[in-house]
Structure formats: structure tokens, C-alpha cells
Amino acid sequence: MNKIGRMGEFVNPEVEIAFRKYQWVELRRRMLFTSIVGGLIYFFAIIGDFMTATSEQMFKEMATIRFLVLFIAVCAFLRGIFARKYTSTLNTVICWLQFALLFGESAELVIKSEQISYGGIPGVSVIVLLIYLSFPPRFISVLAACLIGCGTFVATVFVLGHASLEYLYTSLLFILMANGFGAYVYLQFSIMRRREFTAIAELRRNAEIDSLTQVFNRRKVLELGDGEVINANYNGHKYSVIMIDVDNFKSVNDTLGHAVGDEVLIEVARRCRSVLRDVDLFGRFGGEEFVVFLPKMDIHTALAVGERLRTEIASQPFITNKQPLDLTISLGVASLTPMKETPSRLLEFADEALYRAKSTGKNKVLASANLAA
């Protein structure tokens, strides 16, 4: 299972990025909600400023701060609206908005000076919880913005000197509680979601990968291969298929046991993969048979690939728990023609060629009869 670190993220950066892309729609929706709701709530507190401001200058300064915070919130919201794919920029913008909200509370203390009230304390706590519970993808950046913003608020209270010691202690208590609770819930939720992602990925892998050879199983390789053959026909591209069968495999199982047979199949799959390209589709067709889909490859090149596969298997003995084995494979190759064969028909041609290879001596590569004709 993929390891999750103390910050609630996968230790493997590639897995972490895959998780964020998988969760992007939900992450984006939460961050859009947080940005616009947080910005609007903070802005409409201007009504209270209008009622409590002792001078026009004080009200203008408070209004300026709230407009600036609302502007950042709208920018974050618009960035999220146009971000159809995963981007780390939205997380950064949300953290800047979070810091702006907390900094606005600190600026409010400076502007109102001796009019400090307890209303700012729960305001800061709500902002902190709102950001944590929106669950942006990077905990460390959220934590840093919260701690810096809250630290600025507490430092402002202390430096101004107008607040009582009780107010200072209350501020610290609420801020510590908000950060502690928010961070705990955030981490637990993050870990839970990543474990769920890992479980789903494992289920998907088990449904697509042959458990013994660790290559695509029959269902998955045919699903992918059929799609590629159809696409090749549509675009007029070359395409080839190779059917592979391990020669005399039944005698290996009968004389040495199924455990040795499993070792052979694992090694056959490994050697074949070492020859094939990354773009080639390789899977276990069933029993001791394998299939290879070769994009943009004509019959001549496919036959050459088949020969390399045959040589790779026959060149060295298979080392098993009981004894070394000299094994070979037979291969049948088929390619698309101007007739634009269907995926199933292309596989039939390759299977017919494989049957001829097996019945005429084995350990050989043959092209399908329709191509030979």
C-alpha cells in the first residue's frame, strides 16, 4: 500500500499528483465555495463597520481592506472557474486569500485602535476553520498561512497595548483551539480520502492485471486493443497483432508441477516485456497464451518483433526451483489490410497463423494466411 506521510500526503510524489487529479472536481468545488463565501462574508461585515465607525476616515479604511479581500476572493473564484484540470495555482491563491482574511482582521485592530472588541476573536476562529474544512490539497501551505495569519493577529493585539491581558489570553486560546481542531480534522479527512483512493486503485488494478504474470489480463488487453485497432482503421494507420503460445507447456505442468509452470509463465512475460515498446499492449490471453498489440507497425516489422521475442525466450534456459528448462514459443502474426479487418477478425488471423506454427514444428514465427496470399 502507498505510504502516507505525517502531512497527510502520499510519500510518493507521483501517487500524490495522481490523487489530486483524481479528486480535482471535488477539490475545485470546495475551494470555489470557500473563496466566494469567505470573501462575501468578510465583505458584508462592512455593514457593522458603518454602524460602529467613529469617523468617516475609519469607515473608508475598513471599506478599503474589505474591498481588497473581496477582490482576492473573486480572483481565486475566477481562477477556479477556468481551471478545468488540476493545477497547484488554485491552492496557492486560496492560501493567499486565507492570509488576506486573517491579515484583514489584524488591520481592523489597528484601524479601530482602542475600540477593540471580542467580536474579532470568533471571527478569526471561523476564518481558520473555514479554510481548514475546505480541505485544500496541500496541508503544509494551509497550516503555514493559518499560523502566520493568526500570529500576526496576536502580535497586533500585543503591540497595540490597548487590549487587556484577558483579551490576549482569550485570543490565544480560541486561535489554538481553531488551529488544533481544524488541523486534526483536515489530516484525518486527508488520510481517509487517500486510503480510499489507494483501495479503489488496487481494486482497479486487480480487475485489469493478471495476478500471476503482472501483465494485462484478457479482458483489459482486448478492451484496449480493440479500441486501438478501431482507431487505426479509422485513421488509416498500420497495426499488427501477435499471438504467442509456450510450446509443450502442458508437459511442464504434468512432470514438474504447476508451481514450476507458474515460474515459467512469469519469466515468459518478463522476457517478452523486455523486447516490446512502451506503446505496445501486452497481456495474458489465457493459460500459456499471450497477445501483443503493435500500434503503427506493418507485417514485416511485426514479424521481426516476433522473431526477437522467439529468440529472447529460446536464447537462455529458464531457471526454476526444480531444474533448468529449455523452452520455446510459437507465434502467429496478423496485420491490418486495406480490407480494414475488425479487431476480432484480426485476432482470428493471428490465431490461425499460431495454429500453423504449432502444427508445423513449433518454435517459429508465421504470418497469417491472408497476408501470405
> What is the second-level CATH architecture of the domain 218-372?
2-Layer Sandwich (3.30)
How high is the pLDDT of residue 373?
43
Amino acid at 55: S
Distance, C-alpha 167 to centroid of its chain: 46
Tell me which residue of 118, 119, 116, 123 sits closest to 162, measured CA to CA. 116
Q: Give the pLDDT of residue 158.
A: 76
pLDDT (0 to 100) of residue 217: 93
Residues near 224 by Cβ (< 8 Å), separated by ≥ 6?
A: 216, 281, 293
Q: What is the pLDDT of residues 124-144, one digit of tens each?
A: 777 788 777 776 767 888 888
Positions of the chain with pLDDT lower than 50, given as ranges: 372-373
The pLDDT score that the predictor gives to residue 256 is: 92
User: Whole-prediction pTM value?
Assistant: 0.64
**Helix 24-44, helix 88-112: angle, nearest 10:** 20
The per-residue pLDDT for 331 is 96
Domain ranges in the chain are 13-207, 218-372
Report residue 371 as a C-alpha cell.
497476408
What pLDDT does residue 214 have? 93
pLDDT in the model for residue 69: 87
Judge residue 349's burial from the number of C-beta atoms within 10 Å of its C-beta, 0-12 exposed, 13-18 middle, 19 or more buried. Answer: buried
Residues 280, 295 contacting (CB under 8 angstroms): yes
The pLDDT value given to residue 244: 96
Name residue 97's amino acid: L
241 forms beta bridges with 293, 334
β pairing state of 281-286 and 365-367: unpaired
Spatial CA neighbour of 289 closest among 206, 221, 239, 228: 221
Q: What is the pLDDT of residues 298-354, one digit of tens each?
A: 999 999 999 999 999 999 999 989 899 999 999 999 999 888 889 999 999 999 999
Per DSSP, the chain holds a count of helices (H) and strands (E) of: 14, 5
